[in-house]
Each structure stands twice: as C-alpha cells, then as structure tokens.
Amino acid sequence: MNAKVKRFVLEPGRREMMLAGAAGLVLAAVGAMPRVSFAQTAGGPVSLAPLPYAPEALEPHIDAQTMSLHHDKHHQAYVTNLNKALSEHSQLATLTLPELLRRLPEVPEGVRNTIRNNGGGHANHAMFWSIMGPNAGGTPTGAVAEAITRDLGGFEDFKKTFNAAGTKQFGSGWVFVTADKAGKLEIVARPNQDTPLMEGKAVLMGNDVWEHAYYLKYQNRRADYLAAWWNVVNWKAVNDRYAAIRRGELI
C-alpha cells in the first residue's frame, strides 16, 4: 500500500487533512496504468445486467418470485447505492470492480463501508446469476471436475463440505470456491456481502445464503436450499470462469 495512504488509514489524528486528499491519492496511485472502467450508463458507472434466463427458468429448485425479487430489488439496490457512492468520488470508477474491492483500505473513509457492502453485493450477485441456468446441474465436467477431485476430494466430498460451510455461516453471507492462477481450489465462507475479492482472491463460484435468496420457498430450511441448488449449477459457465481465472482475467 502507498505509504501516504497507510498513514491516512492508521493515524486518526491526521484524518481531516488526509480526507481532502484521499481521492487524489487513489487516482494518483493508478493513474499511470491503463484500466478498464465500469461501463458508463445514464444512471451511473455501474449497471445491472438482465438475468441471462427467465425468472421461472430455475424452478422447481428456485422459484420465479424469489428470482425476480432477488435480482430486480435486492441486486438493483446494491447497484443504485454503489452508483451514488461513486458519484461522490468519480475517480474511483477508473478502477475495475475487483480492484476497487481489493483496495478498500485506500478508499476514502466516508464511503468505504458503502462500497464494501454494495460493491461486494454487486460482484457477488453478478457472479451468482452467471453460474446458474436451466437444464443444468449434474456432475462437474472438464478442468473444474479435475480440480475438484485434486483439491477437494471429489464431487461428493466437495458438496458436503460446501453445504456444511453454507449451513454453518451465521446470519447472512456467502459460501464460495476460490481459485488461484495455478488453478488450486479452496472453499471459504464470508459474512454479509464480503467477498474473497477483498483479499485479492478470485471467485470461481458461490452460493448466496442470505434469507432473501431462499426464504419464500424454503423458509428456515437453509440446508434444503443448499442441497437443491446443485440442480441449477451451470458447469460449463463455471469452467469458463475457471479458464478466465487461470488467464488472470477475474482479479
């Protein structure tokens, strides 16, 4: 981390002076490097893509009403709130979303938690929609299947460990599979809308265990939801993400 930025984070007595220059420090730290910024739209630099399938496409495992509310209301709220925060610090939109989340300690303190919660929510949900689909499920294929066998003990052990991590996550949160550039997989759980991207780790796949993701159909039966979710995992999409991570494109 830039030394000046670190002093801003760790020395509260200097905060007022440093807050005024924090936005410039962030921009200066990345200004010499070409970046792909968030897509520019009329509503702000972040946009909500439509679902890649109809809301009812994942039934009976995830119902249409849950999908519509989850995408159109919950995810949209993260996008709206993130756009508002970025509108107050427009230079932050020169960073990619993974980089913005990875560099949260350098973000001005006044919007740091807003960007953590809503940037994390946007990243997590965009991943979530992309790895599900109709007529999906079954066993993993290709390079992902090989990595699961190598790193996670095979598909059945992987599902048990993943589901257990999701069931044990206290309150709201996510269970993820991360992958490094060498392709090694790891299962991790995170609270709220935190994401391994905040630690510089690429997310291969993940499941949302906030109650809004399952409560209309499964009520308090989170374990049932986690078990049913495997029927909608699109392993081709997961393999595409795995290849992109190996190329260094998702971090």
Three-class secondary structure assignment of 109-172: HHHHHHHHHHHHHHHHHHHHHHCECCCCCCCCCHHHHHHHHHHHCCHHHHHHHHHHHHHHCCCC
The DSSP element (H or E) to which 188 belongs, if any, is strand 185-191
Cα torsion angle, 209, 189, 179, 186, sign: negative
Of 28-32, 107-111, 177-181, the one with minimum mean pLDDT is 28-32
* Amino acid 93: pLDDT: 87
Q: How is domain 39-47+62-130 classified at the CATH fold level?
A: Helix Hairpins (1.10.287)
**Six token digits for residue 105:** 């300690």
* pTM: predicted TM-score of the whole model, two decimal places: 0.84
Give the residue extent of every domain in the chain: 39-47+62-130, 142-246
What pLDDT, in 10s, does the model give residues 162-209?
A: 999 999 999 999 999 999 999 999 999 999 999 999 999 999 999 999
Q: What is the Cβ-side half-sphere exposure of residue 194, based on CA atoms within 13 angstroms?
A: 14
Measured CA to CA in angstroms, residue 124 lies from 88, 101, 109 at distances of 23, 11, 22
Number of alpha helices (DSSP H) and beta strands (DSSP E) in the chain? 11, 3
Q: Please state whether beta strands 185-191 and 173-179 pair in parallel, antiparallel, or not at all (unpaired).
A: antiparallel
Q: What is the dotted CATH code of the domain comprising 142-246?
A: 3.55.40.20
CB of 76 closer than 8 Å to CB of 103? no
Measured distance CA(198)–CA(102) in Å, rounded: 4
pLDDT > 90 in the chain, percent:
79
Same fold flag, 39-47+62-130 and 142-246: no
Mean of per-residue pLDDT scores for the chain: 87
Look at residues 37, 193, 185 and name the one whose alpha carbon lies nearest to residue 115: 193
pLDDT interval class at 43 (50, 70, 90): low
Q: What is the Cβ-side half-sphere exposure of residue 60, based on CA atoms within 13 angstroms?
A: 1
pLDDT interval class at 13 (50, 70, 90): very low
